[in-house]
Amino acid sequence: MIGHCLALLLAFVAATVADPQYIVGSKCPDKPADIVFVLDGSGSQGQANFGKELDFVSNFTKNFNIGPSTVQISVVQFATSVRNEFSLKDGHSSTTLINSISNIKWLNGETYTGDALNYVNRNSFQKVNGGRDHVAKVVIVLTDGGSNHPNETAIAAKRLHDNHINVVAIGIGSEVNKDELNTIASNSKHVFTVPNFDALHTIHNDITDTTCKLCDSTPMDLAFLLDGSGSEGNKDFGYQKNFAKLVVGELHIGDNATRVAMVTFSTGANKNFDFKDGRSPNTVNHNIDRVHYPNGESYTHLGLQYLHDHTFAQRESRYGTKHIAVVLTDGRSNEENLTKQQAARLKASGVLVIAVGIGAGVQMTELKNIASGDKYVVTVDEPKDLDKIHDKVVDLLCASHNVFRTTIMTTTSTTALPTTTTPEPRKVCGPRPADILFLLDSSDSEGADNFAKETGFVSNFANRFYIDPQHNQISALTFSNNIQNAFWFNTYKNRHDVTHAINNIKYVGAGTNTADAFKFARSQSFTKNHGSRANATKIAIVITDGRSKDEAATLREATSLKNSGVVVISIGVGFGQDDHELKSMASRSNYVFSVSNFDALKTIQRQVIETTCQDHGAHH
């Protein structure tokens, strides 16, 4: 146990000291997070020291890329009362933010920390105040003393923890109550103390680093596939189990949070435990302890196949769940081609695969065949070093967003359904007639073949509806560098002509000007001249496989389109798309779909139709 803790500690220290990537400018500052600072403005500290708290916050924000799609900051001050200084939505540029921080006036009073935490829990992360779904939610509490009502503080803190909000507690000076800091923080690693206000700057990097490592609140279905082949040996197999425990230890495991499953491959595939048995940290650890080393051949493909056919086949439809497999292997399977095939099948079903290669003999080609992309390959030279890379794997888990809405595969075949099984087209789509515009990405990243799959999806979609001026109407445009209208709502008056036109849309190539596409939709497509009807529900379905060339402009135009009364549904294809952008474009967080490739588009057809035709209410 001591060895284990020491290893953990060393890994933690090694990661913090040797990994400067978080400190300035690289990937973390762009990782979206909603951060609320809770500042103690009680009388014990005095005006000058309060100013140092403000400096600390100011310095902190300089390390992040501030904006509506990256990091948002709010500040709440408490003493006898609680005051919201500014909300997440208020400071969308570094300069306004720093200005607002410097204008904060010291409250001066008692220390009602619990009231502040309750306030934050109820208000700060609400949508109206700028809170976003599926981003890391962080509360950083600075205090210089014990609170007036410790019990209430503890209850309030627990509410935050229960809502998957990460809480970091910083104690300043000798009056702080270390036990209370521990109850406030979401775990003991998130407690920091400094001897006085002047020493605050010494923990600047630690706080930045801690914040960067926090996971977003998107639940995961996370399956581990362990290598139980003879080349590993019982002791080495133990390191794999330990690695899985370290990773799990960093995640929020629970019924409505992340669930864990485990399978081991050797000569066959052994189910260790399913997602239904991996829903609390204690059960997961207990179940991992009970996994035994099978010792046998290296039939990696059987393990991957098991994950596809059983482990992930039983997934329930949980909104917004990521499906991820972490595959540990020495990278030398007996059946290289079958391994590749089964990995491809698993990935095509919407599971993101991370490959962890163990030992000097790993074959990179095989790891790359298994993983969802080169950046999802992680290697260690020796099994005993697995603990050193668990942070890296946790980062990949936390930063990846593969599937926001479960696409349950009812068939493993990717061939098109025969047209004879196409159900009768529906007269009505929702409570009112619908005007449905498709915005089709025609950028060079996808190629003509994939573009044909995209139009195939749209044409199948159109085939499911009565299309005429009394019922539903469809319009389509393509976007690359330029926007091209394919046909307006009033160009064709029946389904046959519409599907024919869809199949004839030409692939253009070059650029992803999503912003102009939205603008065009608002100013051209959804106008009376072009057939848009006042009595219809207006829906825009955007399908894209890449990041737009100007995210800020895209989100601005998406917002204008939504404000003009159009419901936006976004569909991302492949792992190249920017999930955050997809979510920000859509009218609701569950109006986002994501599939791993163009072939898989057909698997979401039914859900896209249901979403399109649901009652969007007073949404605008």
Ligand X SMILES: *[C@@H]1O[C@H](CO)[C@@H](O)[C@H](O)[C@H]1NC(C)=O
Q: SS3 sequence, 422-438?
A: CCCCECCCCCCCEEEEE
Q: Is 289 in the site for ligand X (CB under 6 A)?
A: no
At 70, the amino acid letter reads T
User: Which range touches ligand X (CB under 6 A), out of 129-137, 199-207, 264-272, 436-444?
Assistant: 199-207
| Phi-psi category of residue 320: left, alpha or beta, with phi > 0 → left and psi -120 to 50 → alpha | left
Q: By C-beta, is 59 or 590 nearer to ligand X?
A: 59
Q: Is 383 in the site for ligand X (CB under 6 A)?
A: no
Minimum distance from CB of 546 to ligand X (Å)? 29
Q: Pairing relation of β-strands 377-380 and 352-358?
A: parallel
What does the CA dihedral 398, 402, 404, 408 come to, rounded to 10 degrees? -130
Q: How far is the CB of 55 from ligand X (least distance, A)?
A: 4
CB of 254 vs ligand X, minimal distance in Å: 6
In angstroms, give the least distance from the CB of 601 to ligand X: 27
Contact 436, 473 (CB under 8 A): yes
256 binds ligand X (CB under 6 A): yes
Evaluate the CA torsion angle 303, 308, 313, 319 in order and state its sign.
positive
Residues 517-536 that bind ligand X (CB under 6 A): 533, 535
Ramachandran sector of residue 522 (left: φ over 0; alpha: ψ -120 to 50; beta: rest): alpha
**470 is a contact residue toward ligand X (CB under 6 A):** yes
Q: Which stretch binds ligand X (CB under 6 A): 19-27, 52-60, 184-192, 415-423?
A: 52-60
**Widest pairwise Cα distance in the chain:** 78
Distance between CA atoms of 59 and 200, rounded to whole angstroms? 11
Contact (Cβ atoms closer than 8 angstroms) between residue 66 and residue 93: yes
Our finding on whether 301 is near ligand X (CB under 6 A) is: no
Q: Strand locations in 80-165, DSSP E? A: 82-86, 136-143
Residue ranges in 333-352 that form contacts with ligand X under rule CB under 6 A: 337
Nearest distance, CB of residue 479 and ligand X, angstroms? 27
Classified as helix, coil or strand, 356 is strand
Q: Does 252 bind ligand X (CB under 6 A)?
A: no
Dist CA 233 CA 219 (whole Å): 33
Tokens 């394919």 sit on residue: 486
Give the residue nearest to ligand X (CB). Answer: 201
| Single-letter residue type at 403 | V
Among 5, 255, 411, 421, binds ligand X (CB under 6 A): 255
- Asked whether 234 and 273 are in contact (CB, 8 A), the reply is no
Q: Which stretch binds ligand X (CB under 6 A): 197-205, 405-413, 549-557, 599-607?
A: 197-205
Q: State which residue, 271 or 432, has the beta carbon closest to ligand X.
A: 432
Q: Which of residues 522 and 533 has its CB atom nearest to ligand X in the complex?
A: 533
Q: How far is the CB of 200 from ligand X (least distance, A)?
A: 4
Among 303, 433, 511, 546, interactor with ligand X by CB under 6 A: 433
Q: Which of 55, 90, 277, 385 binds ligand X (CB under 6 A)?
A: 55
β-pairing, 322-329 vs 352-358, is: parallel
Q: Which stretch binds ligand X (CB under 6 A): 27-35, 55-63, 77-85, 491-499?
A: 55-63
Residues in 309-338 that interact with ligand X by CB under 6 A: 337
H or E, element range at 572: strand 566-573
The edge-to-edge listing of strands for the beta sheet with 33-40 is 82-86, 71-78, 33-40, 136-143, 166-172, 191-194
Nearest to 178 by CA among 204, 150, 200, 206: 150
Residue 89-128 contact track with ligand X, rule CB under 6 A, x = bound: ----------------------------------------
Please say which residue, 4 or 493, places its beta carbon nearer to ligand X. 493
Q: How far is the CB of 536 from ligand X (least distance, A)?
A: 7
Residues that bind ligand X in the complex, under the rule CB under 6 A: 52, 55-56, 59, 151, 200-201, 204, 254-256, 337, 433, 469-470, 533, 535
